[in-house]
Amino acid sequence: MPKFEFRKVRSMLIALFLLPTTTLTAHAHPHVWMDVKTNYEIDAGHKLSAITITWTFDEFYSSFAVGDFKKQPDGSYAQKDLDSLLKLNLDNLKDPVWHYFTEVKQNGKMVKFKDAIARSTSYDKKLGRLTSSFTLPFETPLIPSEKAPVKIRIFDPTFYIDLEYVKKDPIQLTGDGKDGCHVATKIPNAEYVWAHLPKSAFTGGDGSAAEGFGSYFASTTTLTCPAS
């Protein structure tokens, strides 16, 4: 089982650290918060071809992330600097341990997707928050049927970052094949999860924090489409 340790990276994902000896107390609660939106791209034939994910970071981390950049006279930042943050994040998150903070399963098996495609990055000078968007195209488009629904979870395995769907319109369906498709989201009760965590969630075989702690708190989205 991989072990986690933290090394500071001045990028939009302060928590992407992969070194040994992290204890549970280092990541038993989040230190960075993201609001999440997703867009499921459904092609003709009701095939899920890609997922576009949008992150909006909390004010504290956003301020940290742009700390090395020169502020423009209007209070914003150069687009090339903001774009470089997204590129750095996606390069870091390509690692199989992180998998872009996205887990997709069908029939109980992990589904592979191609390298992420950067879409946009912006800074809201009024709110002081960064927003980034990227697309994960699947190697092979999926057919999310009633018998074989597609299940999606977005989470940081270390739980250092808390990723939560926005309250209004968190998931959009787009594309020629979206009609008739349905999305259901199950959000775990955090208090219940804490009270019923198994011992394995707290320690690995060597006493280090177990891999995937954040998965216990992840919302699960289930996508189904009618037969073509």
Q: Regarding predicted confidence, which is higher, 198 or 18? A: 198
Please provide the average confidence, as pLDDT, over all residues in the chain: 83
In whole angstroms, how far apart are CA 121 and each of 85, 116, 124, 126? 8, 14, 10, 16
What DSSP string describes 8-27? ---SS-TT----S---GGGT
User: Cα 117 to the chain's mean position, in Å?
Assistant: 14
- Domain extents in the chain: 24-224
Band (227; pLDDT cuts 50, 70, 90): confident
pLDDT surpassing 60 at residue 19: no
Asked if residues 57 and 41 have their Cβ atoms less than 8 Å apart, the reply is no
What is the per-residue pLDDT for 109? 95
The sign of the dihedral angle between the CA atoms of 180, 112, 15, 22 is positive
Q: Fold for domain 24-224?
A: Acetylcholine Binding Protein; Chain: A, (2.70.170)
pLDDT surpassing 60 at residue 141: yes
Per residue in 45-103, pLDDT (tens digit) is: 999 999 999 999 999 989 888 888 899 999 899 999 999 989 988 988 888 878 899 99
pTM (two decimals): 0.84
